[in-house]
């Protein structure tokens, strides 16, 4: 009698899948050497890949990358002290290592090997606004249904280093991979999408972010549309139907012979909003038409922009072959991300106040969207701490001055404006009480976060206040958030 016949019937019936034969280690020395063309000093296995010695954890492979400002080889001792198992280096060291001629190139080669060894459906996400939130929501929906077999780029690892790093971290057993792609200049997304080679490519929206480098909204749309260049044959482009650049994006996608799926409120949208009802928790109950079916689901995140984001998520999940029900549940449970909508109850005079953390990024479109949401947030008083919007170039004065209107529409009681670019808005608001937009709005202009903290302290936070903190990351308004949340 064979050993198999002696086993319990349930074990004999257990399905055997190809992925069960894949090792549990992320990489071993031999596979890293084969992928990078390097030489392994010894046998080892690693569980993670890292490029910053401060973030290294036990079991990681540390890439000693060379940048314009520094050389990762200087931090090898710290990486190993933090628990690195091995390092990728361009000269021999005493510790376990892979010796290569160029560590930066080696990371890209390992990323390509990670992509090719996995059968995961890859989703690429870009856009002027909302790409990190949409990336996280797609991940949450797919991960729920795949029982943890979905991989994603963490934080905002969306540039020429972050994307290959995220790919290199993708386990061979992954069923899905979700990757964010960002850019400042023409040609950057082209390089990133050709590394990821997505099956599904999502553009969230087009807005004047990085217009300083690109010159026009149309040029920004062209740069974002580079994501279609890397789509695998038979892949899908997911684009915003409500965008003024819709036809431009559609034409760009059509050049690559991909399937095109649009989302939004427009009648021609393939994933179309039918209804959105505000829910008690500040989110929305959304009904969408997906052509062959209608779907009703909750979106925990507040704001009209998250209704649009949710439609993009559903379009991407369906295109990737994911489960729409799981995606709906994930959207209902998602909380705000740090710097991108996280909500905190903070200590105030005689009670609690709401602080909305949007401190990581800002452009004209996202400023209007979050101010609109602040205006819809129940509050005794509304306070806006707004930092400068960067990379707007010659357009900066106009776009900053135009914030007067959404501030007024949101019924903001007090605005703290931070950074030199805010001078244009200060001038607009300071025209006098006769200006209908400036009427009733008190404001202060500050050079930096420390002054903003003092201004908000002097204003006095009372129970029931709603405080929005938003600006480009380089302004440093995360310090304002940290200061007031630390009280808790």
112: confidence class by pLDDT, cuts 50, 70, 90: very high
Edge-to-edge, what's the strand order for the sheet holding 200-203? 150-152, 176-180, 121-126, 200-203, 236-240, 259-264, 271-278, 284-289, 294-299
- Percentage helix, strand, coil, to 5, in the chain? 40, 25, 40
| Residue 435 in this model has a pLDDT that exceeds 50 | no
Q: Within 10 A of 349 (CB to CB), how many other CB atoms are there?
A: 10
Evaluate whether 196 touches 231 at the Cβ level (below 8 Å). no
Range of the domain at 464: 342-485
Higher pLDDT: 293 or 436? It is: 293
| Residue 147 shares a structural domain with residue 249 | yes
273: confidence class by pLDDT, cuts 50, 70, 90: very high
| Residue 433 in this model has a pLDDT that exceeds 50 | no
Phi, psi values for residue 467, rounded to 5°: -120, 120
Q: Within 10 A of 106 (CB to CB), how many other CB atoms are there?
A: 27
| Residue 463 shares a structural domain with residue 367 | yes
- Answer whether residue 148 is part of any domain: yes
| Residue 382 shares a structural domain with residue 321 | no
| Residue 88 shares a structural domain with residue 174 | no
Domain stop point among 333, 363, 398: 333
| Residue 409 shares a structural domain with residue 459 | yes
For residue 72, what is the domain's CATH number?
3.40.1390.10
- Answer whether residue 305 is part of any domain: yes
Under DSSP, is residue 209 helix (H, G, I), strand (E, B) or coil? coil
| Residue 316 shares a structural domain with residue 417 | no
| pTM, to two decimals | 0.84
In the chain, how many domains are there?
3
- Residue 145: closest CA among 329, 418, 288: 329
359-377: pLDDT as tens digits: 998 999 899 999 999 999 9
For residue 447, what is the domain's CATH number?
3.90.190.20
User: What is d(CA 95, CA 100) in angstroms, rounded to the nearest whole number?
Assistant: 15
Q: Within 10 A of 24 (CB to CB), how many other CB atoms are there?
A: 9
| Residue 350 shares a structural domain with residue 472 | yes
| Residue 387 shares a structural domain with residue 421 | yes
Domain stop point among 81, 104, 127: 104
| pLDDT for res 10 | 65
Evaluate whether 468 touches 384 at the Cβ level (below 8 Å). yes
- Answer whether residue 1 is part of any domain: no
- Answer whether residue 11 is part of any domain: no
| pLDDT for res 7 | 64
164: confidence class by pLDDT, cuts 50, 70, 90: very high
| Residue 276 shares a structural domain with residue 178 | yes
DSSP state of 91: S
Helices (H) and strands (E) in the chain, counts: 18, 22
375-396: pLDDT as tens digits: 999 999 999 999 999 989 899 9
| Residue 74 shares a structural domain with residue 125 | no
| Residue 436 in this model has a pLDDT that exceeds 70 | no
Mean pLDDT, residues 438-454: 87
- Answer whether residue 360 is part of any domain: yes
| pLDDT for res 75 | 97
- Residue reference for tokens 């790409």: 131
User: What is d(CA 1, CA 328) in angstroms, rounded to the nearest whole number?
Assistant: 50
- Answer whether residue 110 is part of any domain: no
Angle at 330 between CA 328 and CA 332, to 5 degrees: 70
User: What is d(CA 152, CA 361) in angstroms, rounded to the nearest whole number?
Assistant: 20
Mean pLDDT, residues 80-89: 98
| pLDDT for res 437 | 46
| Residue 34 in this model has a pLDDT that exceeds 80 | yes
Structure tokens at 87: 């390092």
| pLDDT for res 23 | 64
| pLDDT for res 316 | 98
| Residue 63 shares a structural domain with residue 204 | no
For residue 250, what is the domain's CATH number?
3.40.1190.10
115-127: pLDDT as tens digits: 999 999 999 999 9
Cα 408–chain centre separation: 29
Under DSSP, is residue 396 helix (H, G, I), strand (E, B) or coil? helix
| pLDDT for res 95 | 97
Under DSSP, is residue 398 helix (H, G, I), strand (E, B) or coil? helix
| pLDDT for res 340 | 85
| pLDDT for res 22 | 67
Sign of the alpha-carbon dihedral angle for 427, 430, 435, 440: positive
221-237: pLDDT as tens digits: 999 999 999 999 999 99
| Residue 399 in this model has a pLDDT that exceeds 80 | yes
- Answer whether residue 6 is part of any domain: no
Residues whose CB is less than 8 angstroms from the CB of residue 422 and which lie 6 or more positions away in sequence, other chains included: 386, 387, 388, 400, 445
Mean pLDDT, residues 255-267: 97
Under DSSP, is residue 350 helix (H, G, I), strand (E, B) or coil? coil
How much is the mean pLDDT over the chain?
92
Mean pLDDT, residues 85-102: 98
| pLDDT for res 449 | 96
Domain stop point among 333, 365, 399: 333
Share of the chain above pLDDT 70, in %: 93
197-223: pLDDT as tens digits: 999 999 999 988 778 778 899 999 999
| pLDDT for res 107 | 98
Structure tokens at 72: 């990762």
Mean pLDDT, residues 232-255: 97
Sign of the alpha-carbon dihedral angle for 456, 457, 460, 465: positive
| pLDDT for res 1 | 47
| Residue 204 shares a structural domain with residue 73 | no
- Answer whether residue 188 is part of any domain: yes
Angle at 254 between CA 251 and CA 257, to 5 degrees: 170
């Amino acid at each position: 009698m064979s050993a198999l016949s002696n086993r319990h019937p349930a074990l004999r019936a257990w399905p055997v899948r190809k992925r069960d034969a894949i090792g549990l280690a992320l990489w071993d020395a031999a596979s890293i050497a084969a992928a990078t063309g390097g030489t392994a000093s010894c046998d080892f296995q690693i569980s993670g890949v890292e490029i910053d010695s401060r973030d290294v954890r036990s079991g990681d492979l540390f890439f000693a990358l060379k940048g314009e400002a520094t050389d990762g080889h200087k931090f090898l001792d710290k990486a190993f002290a933090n628990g690195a198992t091995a390092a990728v280096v361009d000269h021999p060291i005493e510790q376990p290592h892979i010796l290569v001629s160029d560590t930066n190139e080696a990371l890209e080669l390992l990323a390509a090997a990670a992509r090719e060894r996995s059968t995961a459906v890859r989703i690429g996400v870009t856009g002027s606004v909302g790409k990190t939130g949409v990336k996280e929501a797609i991940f949450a929906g797919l991960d729920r249904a795949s029982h943890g077999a979905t991989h994603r780029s963490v934080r905002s690892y969306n540039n020429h280093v972050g994307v290959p790093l995220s790919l290199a971290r993708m386990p061979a057993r992954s069923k899905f991979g979700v990757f964010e792609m960002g850019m400042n200049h023409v040609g950057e997304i082209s390089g990133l999408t050709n590394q990821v080679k997505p099956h599904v490519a999502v553009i969230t929206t087009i807005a004047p972010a990085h217009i300083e480098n690109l010159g026009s909204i149309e040029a920004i749309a062209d740069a974002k549309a580079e994501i279609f260049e890397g789509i695998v044959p038979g892949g899908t482009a997911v684009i915003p139907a409500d965008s003024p650049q819709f036809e431009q994006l559609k034409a760009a996608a059509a050049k690559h012979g991909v399937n095109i799926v649009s989302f939004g409120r427009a009648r021609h949208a393939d994933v179309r909003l039918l209804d959105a009802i505000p829910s008690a928790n500040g989110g929305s109950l959304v009904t969408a038409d997906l052509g062959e079916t209608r779907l009703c689901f909750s979106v925990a995140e507040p704001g009209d922009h998250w209704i649009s984001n949710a439609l993009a998520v559903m379009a991407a999940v369906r295109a990737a072959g994911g489960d729409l029900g799981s995606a709906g549940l994930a959207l209902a449970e998602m909380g705000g991300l740090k710097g991108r909508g996280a909500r905190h109850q903070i200590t105030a005079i005689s009670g609690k106040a709401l602080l909305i953390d949007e401190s990581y990024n800002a452009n004209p479109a996202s400023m209007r969207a979050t101010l609109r949401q602040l205006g819809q947030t129940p509050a005794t008083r509304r306070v806006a701490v707004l930092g400068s919007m960067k990379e707007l170039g010659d357009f900066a004065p106009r776009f900053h001055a135009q914030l007067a209107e959404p501030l007024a529409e949101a019924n903001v009681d007090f605005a703290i404006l931070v950074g030199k670019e805010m001078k244009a808005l200060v001038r607009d608001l300071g025209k006098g009480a006769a200006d209908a937009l400036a009427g009733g709005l008190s404001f202060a202009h500050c050079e930096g976060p420390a002054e903003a903290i003092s201004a908000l302290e002097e204003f006095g936070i009372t129970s029931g206040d709603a405080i929005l903190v938003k600006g480009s990351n380089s302004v440093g308004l995360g310090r304002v958030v940290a200061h007031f949340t630390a009280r808790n």
